[in-house]
Structures are given as C-alpha cells and as structure tokens.
C-alpha cells in the first residue's frame, strides 16, 4: 500500500498522521486479515526499525479500533487481539501456538444471531472456536 494511501486512511480516521501512526498503519494494513496483539505489533515495529513506545502502540490500536479500522477481540481472558478484517466473522484460536485464523462462515450467518431479550439490542459478538492439533491416535 502506497504511503499516501496510508496517510489518507489515518487522516480519514480523524487522526494526525504522525510518524508512529503512519508506521504502525503501514505494518497493519499491508495484510487483509492480520491478527496481532499489542506486544507483537510493538516487536514488529522495532524489528522494522520504527521507534515507538509500547504505550503508543496500545493507544494507536485503541484509536484505530474506535475509528473502525480494526476489530478487537480477546481469547482466553488474556491478551486483546486486533484484526484488520473488520467484517463480522469468527476466529479459530490454536491453543499452545497463540495463533488466530479467520473463519469464513459465508452466507448471512450473522443474521442468524440469537434474538436478544425484550428492550435490548445487539452491540456485537465474539465467537472463538478453540483448536488443538489432533493427537496421532
């Protein structure tokens, strides 16, 4: 993705295109369905020679999420994961590997969500299916 595309994206989110935000956005939005947690993105940034603090990574991920550029979800009560695929979809989580895979359920699956109780509306949902390698029996 060209740099000025990235800048446009950050601006579009109502955020100043600072060096750190551009760099993080560049790392994030180069892939359609990237899954990262804050710590991992911080490492990625350092590896890429970008000087950012972990706090800024957290802040930036939150800002991008609030702006709708990312989707956040959690697994096993530990880390928060961020997904560049913001459409309604579900995840496989591979235990012991700390790895996430998108599940494409296809169709209008999300229209089949359970009916909320009277007077309530659905804000969102989190659906994670936990996996492990099949034992070789």
Partner DNA sequence: CTGTGTGCAAACTCTTTGCATAAGT
Partner DNA sequence: ACTTATGCAAAGAGTTTGCACACAG
Q: How far is CA 110 from CA 7, 68, 92, 126, in A?
A: 32, 18, 17, 11
Residue 90 touches which of a second copy, DNA, none (CB < 5 to 8 A by kind)?
Answer: a second copy
Task: Give the total residue count for the chain.
Answer: 137
Q: How far apart are CA 16 and CA 10, in angstroms?
A: 7
Interface contacts to a second copy, rule CB under 8 A? 74-80, 90, 92, 94-95, 101, 103, 105, 113-114, 116-117, 119-134
Give residues 53-112 in contact with DNA (rule: CB under 7 A). Answer: 53-56, 58-60, 62, 74, 77-80
| CA proximity to 1, closest of 19, 39, 27 | 27
**Closest separation in Å from C-beta 24 to DNA:** 8
> Which 37-56 residues touch DNA, going by CB under 7 A?
37-39, 51-56
Q: Verify binding: residue 128, DNA, rule CB under 7 A.
A: no
Dist CA 109 CA 36 (whole Å): 25
Asked whether position 16 contacts DNA by CB under 7 A, the answer is yes
Comparing CB distances to DNA, the nearer of 44 and 79 is: 79
Nearer to a second copy, 12 or 116 (CB): 116
Return the DSSP state at 113.
P
How many Cβ atoms from other residues are within 10 Å of residue 70's Cβ? Answer: 22
123 binding partner (options a second copy, DNA, none; Cβ < 5 to 8 Å by kind):
a second copy
Look at residues 26, 36, 22 and name the one whose alpha carbon lies nearest to residue 100: 36
Chain residues in the site for DNA (CB under 7 A): 11, 15-21, 37-39, 51-56, 58-60, 62, 74, 77-80
């Amino acid at each position: 993705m060209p740099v000025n595309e990235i800048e446009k994206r950050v601006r579009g989110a109502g955020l100043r295109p600072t060096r750190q935000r551009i760099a993080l956005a560049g790392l994030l939005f180069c892939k359609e369905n990237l899954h990262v947690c804050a710590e991992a993105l911080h490492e990625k940034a350092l590896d890429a020679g970008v000087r950012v603090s972990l706090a800024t990574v957290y802040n930036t991920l939150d800002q991008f999420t609030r702006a709708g550029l990312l989707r956040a979800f959690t697994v096993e009560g530990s880390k928060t994961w961020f997904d560049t695929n913001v459409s309604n979809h579900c995840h496989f989580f591979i235990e012991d590997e700390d790895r996430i895979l998108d599940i494409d359920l296809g169709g209008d699956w999300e229209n089949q969500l359970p009916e909320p109780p009277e007077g309530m509306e659905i804000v969102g949902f989190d659906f994670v299916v936990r996996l492990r390698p099949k034992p070789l029996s």
